[in-house]
Structure 1
Amino acid sequence: MVGKPNRQVAVFGAGYIGLVTGACLAELGHRVVVRDISADKISLLKAGDVPIYEPGLGDMIARNKERLTFTLDLREALDGAEVAYVCVDTPPSASGDADLSKVWSVVRSLEGASHLKAVAVKSTVPVGTGTRVRAALDAAGLAHVGYAANPEFTAEGTAVNDFMHPDRIVVGASDEATARLIAELHEGVDGPVVVMDVRSAEMVKLASNALLATKISFINEIATLCEKTGADVEDVAGAVGLDHRLGRHFLRPGIGWGGSCFPKDSEALRQLANNTGYHLQLLSAVIEVNNLQKRRAVQKLKDALGDLAGARVALLGLTFKPGTDDMREAPSAVLAARLLAEGAEVRCWDPMARPAETEPWTSTSRHASPEAAVEGADAAIVVTEWPQLREVDWAQTAAVMRRPVMFDGRNMLDPAEMRAAGWTYMSVGRP
């Protein structure tokens, strides 16, 4: 325990953000009740199991079991709560705007909770949402309850550390008292508190993710140009990243970004601009580059193999990044769908992924190891940079393939070593 137990907090949503928020607030000494409408999730959590994989989260929940509880019951969650945190997901709607139906469901459920001091939204929402929530709270007789936008900046695989040691804690509050309250909740967190107005705080989250996505798409475009000119993108990115004005982070070429944040937030920001009558040309290009990057991987295999009809292709890694079981917007889904459309047989390996029982996954096969996935295959694609792939005996693996062709979509293996091991090896932006 870092801080002193001094606040009662209700957290709505037991997903990645809600569980990390609840566990970390309990670690700071607060009494936290996490409420979700999924009976399966709450049943698992009450039994001591965590329904998602996030390093350190299970241990933190177990360590704080006296201050951290889970419930399906709204009244139990709100009983005595001073702050209600909204941590539900906001997926894209059919129009590309953020679907705020779960946010509004939580806001409506707060009617009558006059004992609350503040409502804080961690969910990523369009700029202007806070104004609408403020009006809804006022109409529900909760005008005395403060409102804050307190966006999260955690990355899956490092979320617990990101919460406890953030670059910044952004608090957009409707009044000074609410800003102080939210800041006090974070006492013991190793990071500066940055206070601003609600709309600016909402924009910070969207702008941050859009800028990170831009860096990835930029280096992927440079990688394509490196392939055409004979330059090595690894050397280029390394030297560019030494510039203190630019930095090394997110200058890694690959098959594109995915996950729960970058695709959704980039599209949400673009739609927000479109709704104001302004077209974000740069961001639109960033999204287009990312969409094309996955398809370029399939084209490289076609160039190497010829017709993909009847070819066996192994996808090595399915999650959008290592260290998580999250399949949301994973590049592997696009790759699998495109390969199947070309008539290929798709074989898959991933140590953590749990693909949905839907297409394209129902038309693929799962294998227990990278070696098993590539046996008898014509090609392999490194999709996720799981460290297990560095331990594979690639010379031995090449010998059990029909045609040892590899596209390394994460540049994690050494080109000279792979070619010496008998592979026709291709990567991103390396000659």
Structure 2
Amino acid sequence: MKRTAIEHLLKWSQNEDVRPVILTGAKGVGKTYLACDFAKSFYEQFLYVNFEHDAMASELFKSKDPFKVSALLLEYYSVNKTGLSLDNLSGDRLLILDEVSHCPDALNMLAELQFTGEFHRIIAISSSPIKKEVLDLYYHIPVYPLLFNEFLVAIAKDWYIETIITHFETDKKIPEIVHKELLSLFNLYLIIGGMPGIINEYLNFDNLLNITENHMLLMGTYRSYLSNISSDSEALKMNQVLGSIPLQLLKENKKFQYKLIRKGTTHAMYKESIQNLADRNYIIPSYKITSDELSKINAILEENRLNVNELTSFKLYLSDVGILNSLISKQVKPPFNNLASKAIMENYVAENLQANGYPIMFWESDSTAKIDFLIPKDGYIIPVELFTDENTRSKNLSVLKQKTDFPYAIKISSRNFGYSKNVKYVPYYAVFCI
């Protein structure tokens, strides 16, 4: 299952700067598979260490001498289940340290370990948050659920990708028969989502019968993991937030309301839990930008003022649209109404924008107009509106234009590609191009 992130790993491996790479992302997004697949494809040998499943692995890093640690690693894993031996472990060798956050000593020694010469390159993997100042020391590659273009590769429809990109760049309509086929594949993607294990389930059985069940099993894994790494009270609050998200997004006003968790709850009681979920990539916060803040958005982003602790008006999306689709189907019987469809589509767009490195923001003007997403680009704000069908008429952009200038806007819908009156029309399946 080819991932876009492997191109980042290839670029890193060919760079003269040999600093270790750190892969981060929620459990189940394919970090370990990505690292091991990369290792098998481009290295003669690799050594895989998992600090979560091998309790003794952390003991090997008790020494402060990286040369001694390297020797201990080679000795300890000479007879491990991967079949590696001391005779094999030579030459072009990669070291993979999985769930490195479980061993702070290993995380602190990554750079020193690199220069012992025993390992040509090092990849560290973490499902837990790592401080920004630590990530900045290394090559950081965040891994997210598969976007639609990666999904097309997984289901052997990758020839569509170049066509989508070309029409996105030229704004020319795609042939209608291809457009309808892509919308159909996109609807399939919304059901399955981007978690590699769920996609494999679909490919293995060639049907959707077990998709919802597997989404629920994955959510159960998340809940169990949060319980294992947190206090009982903190785990309860994080799981309450996760459980409320479908109801939050099924409202007309999708802003997060604490009363949907339980009566009497407050921002102060849950802000840390929400931030913890965001840091672990289980949720995607989208923050409200006021009209007064539109002209100051670059300063806000530079000062990193978009966080739950400082802002009380926000939306929350799940990290994977397929999981949300399954959860909503338990509340609203398909075919979905406009509210449910809009919730799923918003979640999908938020995933794409996050994966493409954009901050997730929205704007409202005294409840008279609203823009689903704002993209900072080339010193401007690009408004993004989302529609649940081909009807893309609204007055929202004209209201926003009175507040701030923008070179063009994006409207996402089932409508074909096009560009008219400073509006770029993007079909759902091309959002990964934005």
TM-score, normalised by the number of residues in structure 2:
0.25
Higher helix content, 1 or 2? 2
TM-score, normalised by the number of residues in structure 1:
0.25
